[in-house]
Structure 1
Amino acid sequence: MAVLEDRFGRTFPYLRLSVIEACNFRCSYCLPDGFHARPERPQPLGREEIARLLRGFAEVGLSKLRLTGGEPSLRRDLPEIIASAAAVGGIERIALTTNGTLLDRRVARWREAGLTNLNVSVDALERARFHAITGHDRLDEILRGIELARGLGFAAIKLNAVLLKGLNDDQLPAWLDYLRERDVSLRFIELMRTGDNAAYFQRHHLRAEALEAQLRETGWSLLARAADAGPAREYAHPDYAGRIGIIAPYSKDFCAGCNRLRVTHTGDLRLCLFGNVGIPLRPWLQDDADRDRLVAALRAQLGLKAIGHRLQQGETGMTANLSTIGG
């Protein structure tokens, strides 16, 4: 199989596909005023379009798929999307990133449909902190949903927490208590500047390297990175069942191991989370006969992928907020 490769020798077995733009949370770092639909907005990709997209990507080496949003659980046909992805040859892992509000009602069905990996956003373990960050007092039911998911045989369950100075940067002791007996991975994600959060970023950005130093000082060891892993640097400790990952987009050489592409809910290819261009793929998703043209378009666009983002220079590209592409 001829895989997708850019001019820097990086290959791309990992696709992050947004299936919906809407989100039902009001996270302070993303959608503090909530989601507001645009009246002229195009419809998200339908199930057949998604299936054609995935079959095309599978021809050029796709092995890991992550479904994102917005909040992907708001799509009522999410189980059918998962099942359709599971039927595509070559896709070995199907992951979902969710805020967890529907876990207790729907996670068993997602698992039955073929979901293999689960990420849940949990920015704090105290109800008041969680409410302040997300705009919703739903921490208890989300944690119940995670416990339910832990009994369903997922290959991996990861929890995501955006690291926020003055809001949740003192939560590490609570997280360590949580991880001592639970075989889940916690991902601390360094806050990223987007098009509409400049003032918030200035107030709450905290470099992740400080947290990494704290982990190393207390006996946590850096693990080797798997070939198809995401961008996290993962740490383990012999006294804890869980692991801790650090996603530090402002760190040196963060983009050197990039192995993922993104497609928006309307079918635009994004070569980088903070790129300036979206390439419409939807015209080649209307008929199975267009697959060769879809694959050719993917190969051509990889020649334009830059060596890395320019966040350090304050350039956020097309990303107004992370709900538009799912992070």
Structure 2
Amino acid sequence: MSPRRMLPLLPVQGNGSVAPSTNVVDRLHSLPLQTVGDIRAAFPGIPVEEIRAETHFQNLRVLTTSTCAMRCGYPGEGTMWCHNEGMERNAIHDSDLSEARKVVARFRRERGITQVTLAGLEPRLNDEFVTFIAGMRADGIEKISLVSHGLKMLDWLPRLQAAGLSDIVLSVQAFEKQAYADIMGLDAFDNALRVIDLAGGIGLPVAVNRVILRGFHEDIPGFLDWIDKRKLRVRLYDVMWMPGQEDQWLRNHISWQEITHLWADRTERITVWTYGLPGRVNMVWWLNGGASIETNLNYPRTQHTAPVCRDCRVKDACLEGWMGCGIRITADLKASGCVLRPDLAMPLTTPDRGYVEPSALDSYLSGKLT
């Protein structure tokens, strides 16, 4: 795995003072699929099941580090599009996993949350991390997922599974070796494929995350054939706008909505999950061969139902919404409601090693910030 290029690190995304341009907003709001009704009308031959939920707080999204070996960016633009889970790269110490376990256990006891996603940046793979997973399972966490680029995972995956890891999600931003390196900044494509096959071989469920970029999506048909053979889950994401990247985003943005013809004739049914808070809509396209594609119905005008979002200047380009991926806990043990607004993060612990009052956390999670 040889390095391809190094892009400058992104600063903290901001405090909401930089609003998206009209061109960005118009681009997002012109996408054809804005409602579940639009989905039914666009695909009349495919059954659509809709499931509604009050909130999206079904899991904890736990981050153990702010560092990452990858530099996922716009090829040739010299700019990273990675939002780094709302943290400033390399600026936060790796989390104290014993304290992180206590925080997770608190959410388990007080809120009944039994699912954890070890998410975002490439995790530290060491004995302590294995013990952390085993400890959470011992504390009653029923499902633990790991999001990774797969670096060094070949040596650790069996041990992680034995400790209680439930499944793995590999971030693979292109299905061609050179394109992968150009987008992700590291020539590790072959390694990622080996990790996926190893996971399948040891019976560990595996999914693939992929952000779509214009000009780098022509491999999708072959990619679909590949996931069909392995019956994989794939999550296709639109690249997220971030402040200071107007031109790069406009040149490179392409939505999954513009390429649905590539898999619509393979789809036997669609399931749609609508969450009251943050107003987010997730879709799963169940393919005939057993694979599936997950997408988000990104419509900023309707997915900002939390009070904190109402007057936010970036809301018209925010594709996540408040707590849109569940309760994100950053490496410094803060709850982070929005990757575009790290200034809104709230510490979960107190200086005297206590825990934030439940009433204060309730208000924060509902987006009622004072």
Coarse TM-score class (shorter-chain normalised): 0.7 to 0.9
In the alignment, the residues of structure 1 paired with residue 304 and residue 139 of structure 2 have an alpha-carbon distance, to the nearest angstrom, of 28
**Partner of residue 127 from structure 1, selected from 162, 172, 177:** 177
Residue in structure 1 matched with residue 36 of structure 2 by the alignment: none
* Offset, 1:225: 4.6
* Offset, 1:120: 0.2
In the alignment, the residues of structure 2 paired with residue 263 and residue 157 of structure 1 have an alpha-carbon distance, to the nearest angstrom, of 23
* Offset, 1:66: 0.5
What residue ranges of structure 1 are gaps of 5+ in the alignment? 1-7, 307-327
* Secondary structure in structure 2 of the residue aligned to 1:149: helix
Change (3 A) 1:149 1:294: farther
In the alignment, the residues of structure 2 paired with residue 252 and residue 119 of structure 1 have an alpha-carbon distance, to the nearest angstrom, of 29
* Offset, 1:32: 7.5
In the alignment, the residues of structure 2 paired with residue 81 and residue 264 of structure 1 have an alpha-carbon distance, to the nearest angstrom, of 16
1:14 matched to 2:59: yes
Amino acid at match of 1:144: R
Change (3 A) 1:187 1:303: closer
In the alignment, the residues of structure 2 paired with residue 95 and residue 74 of structure 1 have an alpha-carbon distance, to the nearest angstrom, of 14
Residue in structure 2 matched with residue 65 of structure 1 by the alignment: 116
* Offset, 1:117: 1.6
CA deviations on 1:230-251 (whole Å, 9 max, x unpaired) are 964111222x232112234346
Amino acid at match of 1:178: W
Change (3 A) 1:178 1:303: closer
* Secondary structure in structure 2 of the residue aligned to 1:181: helix
Contact 1:192-1:249 at 8 Å conserved across structures: no
1:28 matched to 2:76: no
In the alignment, the residues of structure 2 paired with residue 296 and residue 45 of structure 1 have an alpha-carbon distance, to the nearest angstrom, of 25
Amino acid at match of 2:188: R
Amino acid at match of 1:260: G
The TM-score normalised by the length of structure 2 is 0.69
What residue ranges of structure 2 are gaps of 5+ in the alignment? 1-52, 306-320
* Offset, 1:259: 6.6
* Offset, 1:176: 1.6
CA deviations on 1:99-144 (whole Å, 9 max, x unpaired) are 0122211111111111102100111121111111111111112101
1:84 matched to 2:135: yes
* Secondary structure in structure 2 of the residue aligned to 1:186: strand
The TM-score normalised by the length of structure 1 is 0.77
* Offset, 1:18: 0.9
Change (3 A) 1:296 1:32: closer
Amino acid at match of 2:363: A
Contact 1:10-1:259 at 8 Å conserved across structures: no
Residue in structure 2 matched with residue 298 of structure 1 by the alignment: 361
Paired residue total: 286
In the alignment, the residues of structure 2 paired with residue 165 and residue 172 of structure 1 have an alpha-carbon distance, to the nearest angstrom, of 12
* Offset, 1:266: 0.6
Contact 2:274-2:281 at 8 Å conserved across structures: no
Instruction: Supply the RMSD in Å over aligned alpha carbons.
Output: 3.0
Residue in structure 2 matched with residue 99 of structure 1 by the alignment: 149
In the alignment, the residues of structure 2 paired with residue 129 and residue 37 of structure 1 have an alpha-carbon distance, to the nearest angstrom, of 24
In the alignment, the residues of structure 2 paired with residue 282 and residue 44 of structure 1 have an alpha-carbon distance, to the nearest angstrom, of 16
Contact 1:13-1:259 at 8 Å conserved across structures: no
Amino acid at match of 1:200: Q
**Partner of residue 296 from structure 2, selected from 247, 251, 270:** 247
Contact 2:119-2:148 at 8 Å conserved across structures: yes
CA deviations on 1:153-196 (whole Å, 9 max, x unpaired) are 22x31101101001x21111111220221021111111101235
1:163 matched to 2:212: yes
In the alignment, the residues of structure 1 paired with residue 304 and residue 274 of structure 2 have an alpha-carbon distance, to the nearest angstrom, of 14
